[in-house]
């Protein structure tokens, strides 16, 4: 460290800490809103979130920050790599935020709280019309922001500016290329699966598993991956929400899942998915706490970690062979007569469906591609709010060959838009692609990892993820991190190869 | 309303709202810390609370507030009573807060979080020494604040300045007088009880009632008093903590209780006590939301509401006669053979004990008097931190005739000091006194109220409390509110009369 004491860098990092601390308070208020808040409290919560977001925005755009940044930038030649990156990341946030008017930030925060409420009501009533106006306003607000951010970021389009918030330096053009390769590969794979003639027995997924047994399975899964929610030193929690999510950072990271008696895989894999996110958040180096580099790299990289734990590990024959006897211990009755082979086939069954969060690994990206295309159309003004349900249903029919019966299982299924998170969805499929690349590298570094998982040993895998991904925080943009870890540019091939290998065994082609 | 639009009064009320909204965010973070936060999250939580408390302090002491207050004060002759009171209360907060240095506010907030952590560990280990240093520092911090506040408030002593925060215009001198009358009356009553020769069978309180049955009883009790935690329009919650508490305001008010299998009264009466607090918080008029008058009057008045619901109603023969058959429905086995007469006697048994929160109505105030005297000594430098356990134990021996065996059941039993809340305890006994005065008046207004409760009807009582106490928010200082409702100055007589009446029937004197 070169710049210490009360030099501009030290002061800048103090400011960063203040902003981070307020942001982490916002996370707790959001978590509480989703999990614990009495329903009547929504109005006050909207006021709280809006006030805090505004304060964060004001702190981030304080003209003093610009002066500090300039002072730091004048001395970066003597900075180490972490310091340089901290200044770069703070500059980026500052330039983007300083241009967003206070009123827009405040209204967006307040509106997202109300909009989330109307989304919930609308979904419960299976009626898009109840959500229509709030969604329309949210699109307008995000468009206003995108218009400004496009200019700052030098993005080609409004939608590119939104994408860059979740996946720095990624563009719709590049995603189009990658998604085309992905889509073509997946469609070939789906054809092979179909032609194989093998049809896994999906009924094993729908047998009733009492909720309290599922809770025990969740606890066991968290213990397997090393996500601690129970010890006196625990830094995690598990709660229940309709739509599972992860929030928090460092020493306070929280995940949620949902339980349906006739879909125990849904809770198990939600816990492993969100657990993968949580391990990443907990794995950011503590010595970078409250610094710009002390945050995850991108939403796509985040998703690579969750998908890695959920799919690469959780749906592997090795994990399921290890886990099934344990499930059986929790409830001999529920899992009686279930064979390892059947549960592995069912966990990896390729089966086009309506709901993204329940989708299998092969068809999952098609759900994402629908959303990516719809979002591109929204921000290119090629579709109106009123046309969204129809466009959605049409694409589900075209790409997944399923018929959407109502808005709750269609355009209303995800929470993201109600919070204004347009540009987020592509991260999910990018996460798949990154996870395939990471797997290819880990396979070389840890050739015995599958054997370990078969014996209930996840620690070496976690250690590999910690060393290669978690410990790097936000030192690199996502494409650079992937190159740093794997030595390669973003490529779909390893993910497709991984799927092909697994599916060929299960489907026998 | 005279001053509207963008006049100074309207702007001042906007500022007040900003401060209130941040304060309510702090409440949620505190609640989360006590109920849900993973243990490892304590360090980050301390940072969050300290940052928010500092922001609140900065907003409250912004020099612009002084200018707005002066402008308002120049036009109060045209204000209505609510506006006048708002300006008076804001001026009081401002004058007090403006004098407290930022560093002191921030350090106190941060220290209280850490201190609460060390109190918990220390209590679990039954070892005061683990708490000693943090408590010592907390006393120093509060003394620094008191020294400043004394001057602003015109208080005679540091301790008076601390008292005034919880019970405006109350002094240690006045409390000494009131508590003397109270102590004398209680001691006479204890003598009568002892001389009566009646000894209620307390074993009925220790019979095992499964926790899930106790949870049903809690739900039933909340439903009886009209504290809604379950409907889609609910504005309340119930959670579990070691030390029960209430937090929140208006549409988001939360209570906690604790469950011990062999002390079902403890959970029932905690729920009714905290429920009484919660009803008050929910009963503040919504049209005063975010204004200074839109807050409860004082801690003593708050306590009068909780004690009213817990003791005057909850421990009344009428409520217990109504409730016992319901308990029995939830668990015929647990309450088999229990007679109404026995549960009433046990619920009102006079039995000097070690733990304040488990104390009976008659001896309760003696616990408070111990704390009041110890606190006076602390801030008069008549006792050192290291001497606290011994002084505590001596007073418990002298006043309650019980022998404290370890610090957990002694000086470590309450959370208050760990949060710096010196001067809070007297509110509890003042609450008893106020509740007696309110009861005397309500008895005249609603002579049939006991009959109603016997039939499960609490609504008229709640309506009386809403009209006479809750709806008045912070329009009056506590002594004035009591005079407004009852026509009398603070007097211990009605509370003693109420106890005498109830105990004479139970003990037969």
Q: DSSP string of A304-350?
A: HHHHIIIIIITTSHHHHHHHHHHHHHH-TTTTTT--HHHHHHHHT--
**B161-193 pLDDT, tens digit each:** 999 999 999 999 999 999 999 999 999 999 999
pLDDT at A113 over 50: yes
How far apart (Å, rounded) are the C-alpha atoms in residues A253 and A208?
30
In chain A, residues 343-362 whose CB comes closer than 8 Å to chain B? none
Neighbours of B339 (CB within 10 A): 11
pLDDT tens for residues B410-461?
999 999 999 999 999 999 999 999 999 999 999 999 999 999 999 999 999 9
Q: Which residue has the higher pLDDT, B306 or B4?
A: B306
Residue A413, both tokens: 């299924």
* pLDDT of B141 over the 60 cut: yes
Percent composition of chain A: helix, strand, coil (DSSP 3-state, to 5):
70, 5, 30
Domain limits, chain A: 8-158, 173-507
Q: Point out the residue among B17, B39, B48 whose CB comes nearest to the CB of A21.
A: B48
Q: For residue B2, what pLDDT band results from cuts at 50, 70 and 90?
A: very low
In three-state secondary structure terms, A238 is strand
Mean pLDDT of chain B: 95
Bridge partners, residue B237, by sequence: B254
What 3-state DSSP class applies to B240?
strand
- Selecting from A22, A45, A233 the residue whose C-beta is nearest the C-beta of B51 gives A22
pLDDT > 90? residue B63 = yes
For the cut 70, the answer to whether the pLDDT of residue A4 exceeds it is: no
A233 and A252 in contact (C-beta within 8 Å)? Answer: no
Mean per-residue pLDDT, A145-169: 96
- Put simply, the chain A residues between 300 and 329 with a CB less than 8 A from any chain B CB are none
By percentage, how much of chain B surpasses pLDDT 70? Answer: 99
Q: Which of A37, A39, A44, A284 to mutate to test the interface with B (most CBs of B within 10 A)?
A: A44
SS3 state of residue B157: coil
Percentage of chain A beyond pLDDT 90 is: 92
Contacts for B477 with CB less than 8 Å, ≥ 6 apart: B168, B169, B297, B298
In sequence order, which residues have a C-beta less than 8 Å from that of residue B13 and are 6 or more positions away? B86, B290, B291
Q: Which of A220-229, A244-253, B13-22, B97-106 has the lowest mean pLDDT?
A: B97-106
DSSP character for A75? T
Q: What is the pLDDT of residue A493?
A: 98
Q: Is A124 on the interface with B (CB under 8 A)?
A: no
Residue A139's pLDDT is what? 98
CB contact under 8 A, A29 and B24: no
Integer Cα distance of A426 and A175 in angstroms: 8
Q: Are A38 and B237 in contact (CB under 8 A)?
A: yes
- pLDDT of residue B229 exceeding 50, the answer is yes
- B332-343 average pLDDT score: 91
- The predicted pLDDT at position A160 comes to 97
Return the closest-CA partner of residue B449 out of B458, B441, B438, B440. B458
Chain A residues in contact with B121 by the CB 8 A cut-off are none
Residues 6+ apart with CB under 8 A from A195: A509
Does A242 qualify as catalytic in the annotation? Answer: no
Q: Identify the closest residue of chain B to A20 by CA–CA distance.
A: B48
Confidence of residue B3 (pLDDT cuts 50, 70, 90): very low
pLDDT of residue A325: 95
Specify the higher pLDDT residue, A221 or B57. A221
- With 80 as the cut, is the pLDDT of residue A52 above it? yes
pLDDT score of A418: 96
Query: Reduced to 3 states, what is the DSSP secondary structure of residue A221?
Result: helix
A173-507 CATH pick, 3.40.640.10, 1.10.20.10, 1.10.1370.30, 3.30.160.250: 1.10.1370.30
How many CB pairs (< 8 A) connect A and B? 101
Characterize the bridge pairing of strands A252-257 and A246-249. Answer: antiparallel
> Which residues does B476 contact at the CB level (< 8 Å), separation at least 6?
B297, B484
The C-alpha of A90 sits at a distance from chain B's nearest C-alpha, in angstroms, of 20
Pairing state of beta strands B252-257 and B236-240? parallel
The rounded mean pLDDT for chain A is 95
Q: Please check the confidence at residue A3 and state whether its pLDDT lies above 60.
A: no
**CA max distance for chain B:** 70
Residues of A in contact with B250 (CB under 8 A): 44
Q: Do B234 and A29 touch (CB under 8 A)?
A: no
pLDDT in tens, A404-427: 999 999 999 999 999 999 999 999
- A229, A218 Cβ separation under 8 angstroms: no
Pick from B18, B51, B251: CB nearest A40 = B251
- Is 90 exceeded by the pLDDT of residue A298? yes
**What does the pLDDT read at residue A105?**
86
B268-283 mean pLDDT: 97
pLDDT the model gives residue B5: 57
Q: Tell me the residues of chain A between 225 and 264 that have a Cβ less than 8 Å away from chain B.
A: 229, 232-237, 248-254
pLDDT band at A45 (very low <50, low <70, confident <90, very high): very high
To the nearest 10°, the Cα dihedral for A163, A168, A169, A173? -30
Q: Which two tokens stand for residue A486?
A: 């794997």
Over residues B22-50, the mean pLDDT reads: 96
Q: Is A44 on the interface with B (CB under 8 A)?
A: yes
On the question of pLDDT at A2 being above 90, the answer is no
Q: Is B246 helix (H, G, I), strand (E, B) or coil?
A: strand
**DSSP type of residue B332:** T
Identify the residue among B13, B26, B28, B231 best suited for mutation to test binding to A, counting A beta carbons within 10 A and taking the highest: B28
Among residues A390, A378, A412, A385, the alpha carbon closest in space to that of A123 is found at A412
Specify the pLDDT at position A5.
57
- Among A56-60, A382-386, B210-214, B227-231, the minimum mean pLDDT is found in A56-60
Which of B34, B274, B358, B409 is labelled catalytic?
B274
């Amino acid at each position: 460290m070169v710049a210490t004491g009360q030099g501009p860098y030290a002061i800048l990092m103090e400011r960063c800490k203040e902003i981070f601390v307020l942001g982490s308070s916002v996370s707790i208020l959001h978590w509480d809103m989703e999990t614990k808040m009495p329903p009547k409290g929504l109005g006050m919560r909207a006021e709280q979130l809006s006030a805090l977001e505004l304060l964060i925005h004001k702190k981030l755009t304080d003209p003093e920050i610009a002066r500090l940044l300039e002072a730091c930038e004048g001395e970066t030649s003597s900075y180490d790599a972490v310091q340089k990156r901290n200044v770069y990341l703070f500059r980026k946030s500052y330039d983007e935020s300083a241009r967003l008017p206070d009123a827009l930030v405040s209204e967006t925060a307040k509106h997202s709280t109300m909009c989330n409420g109307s989304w919930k009501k609308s979904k419960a009533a299976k009626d898009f019309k109840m959500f229509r106006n709030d969604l329309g306003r949210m699109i307008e607000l995000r468009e206003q922001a995108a218009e400004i951010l496009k200019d700052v970021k030098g993005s080609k389009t409004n939608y590119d500016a939104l994408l860059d918030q979740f996946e720095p330096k990624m563009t719709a053009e590049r995603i189009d290329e990658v998604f085309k390769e992905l889509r073509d590969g997946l469609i070939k794979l789906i054809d092979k699966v179909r032609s194989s003639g093998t049809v896994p027995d999906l009924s094993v997924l729908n047998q009733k598993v009492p909720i309290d047994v599922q809770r025990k399975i969740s606890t066991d899964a968290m213990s397997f991956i090393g996500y601690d929610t129970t010890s006196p030193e625990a830094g995690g929690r598990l709660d229940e929400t309709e739509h599972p999510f992860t929030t928090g950072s460092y020493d306070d990271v929280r995940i949620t899942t949902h339980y349906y008696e006739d879909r125990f895989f849904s809770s198990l894999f939600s816990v492993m998915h969100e657990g993968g996110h949580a391990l990443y958040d907990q794995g950011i180096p503590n010595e970078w706490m409250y610094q710009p580099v002390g945050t995850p790299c991108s939403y796509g990289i985040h998703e690579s970690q969750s998908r890695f734990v959920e799919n690469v590990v959780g749906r592997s024959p090795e994990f399921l062979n290890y886990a099934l006897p344990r499930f059986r211990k929790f409830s001999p009755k529920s899992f009686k007569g279930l064979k390892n082979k059947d549960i592995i086939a069912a966990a990896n069954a390729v089966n086009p469906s309506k709901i993204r969060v329940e989708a299998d690994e092969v068809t999952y990206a098609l759900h994402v591609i629908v959303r990516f295309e719809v979002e591109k159309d929204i921000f290119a003004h090629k579709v109106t709010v009123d046309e969204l349900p129809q466009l959605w249903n049409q694409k589900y029919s075209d790409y997944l060959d399923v018929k959407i019966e109502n808005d709750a299982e269609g355009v209303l299924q995800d929470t993201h838009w109600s919070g204004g998170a347009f540009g987020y969805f592509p991260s999910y499929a990018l996460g798949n692609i990154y996870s395939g690349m990471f797997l290819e590298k880990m396979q070389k570094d840890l050739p015995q990892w599958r054997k370990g998982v078969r014996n209930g040993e996840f620690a070496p895998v976690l250690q590999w993820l910690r060393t290669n991904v978690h410990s790097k925080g936000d030192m690199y943009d996502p494409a650079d991190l992937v190159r740093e870890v794997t030595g390669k540019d973003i490529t779909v091939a390893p993910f497709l190869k991984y799927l092909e290998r697994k599916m060929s065994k299960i489907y026998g082609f």
